[in-house]
Amino acid sequence: MGVKIDVPRECLAACLMTDAERYTALTEGMQPRAVVEMINRYFEVIFTPVLENGGMISDVKGDGLLAVWNYECAGPDFKARLCHACLAIVRTVDEFNRRDPSRRLPTRLGVDFGPVAIARVGARECYEHRAVGDAVNTASRLEELNKLTKTRILVSEAFAQGVKGFVFRDLGSFHLRGKRMRTRVRELVCADDDCDARTSSLVRDFGYALAAYDGGEAEEARRRFHGLLARSPTDGAVRYYLQRLESEQTDAPRLRWLGRFW
């Protein structure tokens, strides 16, 4: 008897990857039934905005999920709907954490857009349908990058292009783990309607500081980032660039010396 082979269905899609901080530490010592109860309540909180905004739950692993917005099926406003879902997830998770502070699960999100295959994946009798492709991997790496920049929602430039009605902050280019090419990264800050004057000025001035950094104007970038830190002391992206400037200044003589041999 022949083995049935499903032909993967390729499409353009936006992929959302989430992960909860502290899950492993939090569940250590908990009874398995208590973990199941907690994680199901948490998934109810993050599934709802995805499904209400036209997303498809592709995969669940541990405390994370992969959701997909198929360009062909989700409609012309699918990127905006995904942005609404991301912002709603952050709001509802924050409320979830306020209700039970002893079991807080702060959540990071990563988003990319590109070709994926909706495929039957597995072997022998163990198969499941899920999205597979570089956009899935990049969304996962962007979710991880939040740890470094202390942000909540990071998206690729490929996703952010053409999106109207939302405020994005350009965070620069990064070598994401395992990828050869650099990825231009943006932070989804808020919807336009929720952007106050302070947020708008911080996003604008961060752009000036980043432009100075990208242009090799280290002292100007340092001055501008320090100014931003004074106005927003908890801004992780500002602290990241100040640390990067400090490490580049410290390592400059060594890098110039190594450069003779590279």
* Listed residue (77, 70, 74) closest to 11, CA to CA: 70
pLDDT tens, position by position, 176-224: 988 889 999 999 999 999 999 999 999 999 999 999 999 999 999 999 9
CB 246 within 8 A of CB 239: no
Q: How far apart are CA 96 and CA 94, in angstroms?
A: 5
Q: How far apart are CA 63 and CA 158, in angstroms?
A: 26
Partners of residue 183 on adjacent β-strands: 174
* Listed residue (20, 209, 47) closest to 56, CA to CA: 47
pLDDT tens, position by position, 99-147: 888 788 889 999 999 998 876 766 776 666 677 789 999 999 999 999 9
Q: What is the CATH number of domain 9-146?
A: 3.30.70.1230
DSSP summary character for residue 8: P
Sequence-distant (≥ 6) Cβ neighbours of residue 138 within 8 angstroms: 15, 110, 112, 114, 156, 176, 179, 183
pLDDT at 6: 57
Count H helices, E strands: the chain?
9, 8
What torsion, rounded to 10 degrees, do the Cα atoms 159, 160, 165, 171 define? 140
pLDDT tens, position by position, 134-157: 999 999 999 999 999 999 999 999
Structure tokens at 50: 């995805």
The residue written with tokens 């702060």 in the block is: 106
DSSP string, 45-110: HHHHHHHHTT-EEEEEETTEEEEEEEHHHH-TTHHHHHHHHHHHHHHHHHHHHHH-GGG---EEEE
pLDDT at 29: 81
3-class DSSP state for residue 158?
helix
What torsion, rounded to 10 degrees, do the Cα atoms 22, 27, 29, 34 define? 150
